[in-house]
Amino acid sequence: MRIFLMSFFVLFPILIFAQIEPSNDFSYQVSNPYKVIDGRKVYFYKENQILSIKVLGETVFLQKTNSLSLELLNTNKVDLPSGSVVESIIELNKKYYLFYSLWDKPNKNEQLFYKEINFDQGTLEANTSNIIKVNHHLSRIPMDNIVGFWGHGISNKFHFKFSDNNSKLLIQYRYLREKRIDAINYDIIGINVFNQDVQLLWNKEVKMPYTEKHMDFHDNMIDHEGNVYILATIYGDNRNERAIPELKILKYQANSDTLFSLSGMDANEKFITSIKFSESVENQISFTGFYSEDPIEFQPNGLFILDMDKNGMSKKVTFFEYPSEFFEKTSNHDYNTDIFYDVLSRPEADYKIIQKLINDDGSVTILSEQRYIETFTTYSKSGRHETHTYHYNDILITKIDTEGKMKWMTKIPKEQVGSTGKKTMSFKYLHNERYHYILFFDNPFNIDASSESDFYAYKDKKEGVLIACKISDIDGTITRIPILNTEYINGMSIKQFYTDRIVILDNNEFILEAYKKKKEDILIKVKFTD
């Protein structure tokens, strides 16, 4: 028996990480290895070609790949001016741009430049445009600490957001604060609005009407006309009291500043636990979020959509209650011990709206995820130290029909934990007329899990299985499809398989770039066969 047990434990890792059996649900192919380029990476797809932009300090590599053959076409290298920091790489109006900041030390100016990217050639254009100059140091904000407000980017001094129809670009910044006391410091925000050709329409710097102690940012938005909105929570003098704070919108236009409040909305005595600007139609503002009927614990009860006009008057609010089984969530394995807990009982673990899609037929798909950060504080002779643990848990998908009624709401059980931000956690989404696909990395022990209580947590950057949850557009039925083991793909073990390196090609295909050791990367292409 001892010999049998020893053999079992020797073979067990091999059994767990063996090749996933071929499936009728998908096919895949793997590229030949090619030389790795380290750094932060952004991907674009157009007409059977992938443009990978890889940033290593002041050096930018532009790499073209054929998405059909997975053949590497060319690689170009560009050096930015000394001291440059790449802030964002975006697609706007079917053009591509790289933005970088540069501190002008003699004149004490923070500057933002851009270069247009030639997709077909895989190069940066020679011309450079200087579009923002600020005579002040700017604040750097860890992007993973912010859900929604600052938009997206690579660095974190300038922050980018588009209008829903991609006709306007908002670039914002925030002054590095001079006063260290929240009770007396007022944030100063720079607002810069551009058209779809990156031509400045208007800009201004505005002082927030509340101190940092009394104001928390949630989200921001730019509409089709170039008006800018900031959503914030406003607290009383003692924000530690259990009094319910007030949600306000700061609205900024080219020629006037207006403040109006969300507090007058008809919420039917419900309490907002999470809220985000979302895609809307012309001449209105739309919010999507979660609500609670409990003013003490703020346990979320469901989803809401609120439409307002541009004067802040509530036009319509619709509530979508959680299905009863959502409150029967069984305990998950804690990532450190075998202690069980219910993640829904944590106030900080409310679902966050990630994406709202208005489909061609007028129906709506809403994607949300449980995200929260745990902060651990320790003290030593050298002072106070903080460490952060990032959690990306269950995914919630809601389908609303063309009549505005909930067609279905379904939950994908997931628990991911890490210490350095998003990395291999969270998810990617693609869809077609029949199915929605949610892609994420999971614990290998969960491949054959039969119920939510059997699930184990996935640890960031550890061995994992790429899972595709296939959701029927008709009724929300979920099918879990294991795609690949990171420890075994065509005889290779892959590393650095970050979620943001999954590139959606079309409604049925995606590509993942990953590191395979020996200073080489590979591409893995997966095509669903529905």
Q: In sequence order, which ranges of 212-343 are alpha helices (DSSP H)?
A: none
So what's the pLDDT on residue 3? 36
Across 103-113, average pLDDT? 94
Q: Encode pLDDT of 15-64 as tens digits.
A: 344 457 768 899 999 999 999 999 999 999 999 999 999 999 999 999 99
CA distances from 463 to 88, 466, 485 (A): 30, 10, 8
Task: Check whether 330 has a pLDDT greater than 80.
Answer: no
DSSP class of residue 167? S
Say how far residue 5 (Cα) sits from the centre of its chain. 44
Q: What span, in angstroms and rounded, lies between the C-alpha atoms of 422 and 276?
A: 20
Q: What is the mean pLDDT of the chain?
A: 84
Worst-scoring range by mean pLDDT, 6-10, 247-251, 348-352? 6-10
So what's the pLDDT on residue 232? 87
So what's the pLDDT on residue 262? 64
Contact at 8 Å (CB) between 476 and 399?
yes
Phi, psi for 136 (deg, rounded to 5): -170, 150
Task: Check whether 205 has a pLDDT greater than 50.
Answer: yes
State the pTM of this model: 0.88
Using CB atoms within 10 A of its CB, is residue 456 exposed (0-12), middle (13-18) or buried (19+)? Answer: middle
Q: Buried (b) or exposed (e) across 405-442, using 16+ Cβ within 10 A?
A: ebbbbbbbbbbbbbeeebbbbbbbbbbeeebbbbbbbb
Q: What span, in angstroms and rounded, lies between the C-alpha atoms of 118 and 292?
A: 49
Within 10 angstroms of residue 327's Cβ, the number of other Cβ atoms is 11
Q: How confident is the model at residue 239 (pLDDT cuts 50, 70, 90)?
A: low
CA distances from 247 to 116, 172, 261 (A): 39, 21, 7
CA distances from 86 to 14, 76, 166, 173 (A): 42, 17, 22, 15
Provide, for the chain, the percentages of residues in helix, strand and coil under a 3-state DSSP scheme, each rounded to the nearest 5: 10, 50, 40
Q: Encode pLDDT of 353-412 as tens digits.
A: 999 999 999 999 999 999 988 888 888 888 888 899 999 999 999 999 999 999 999 999
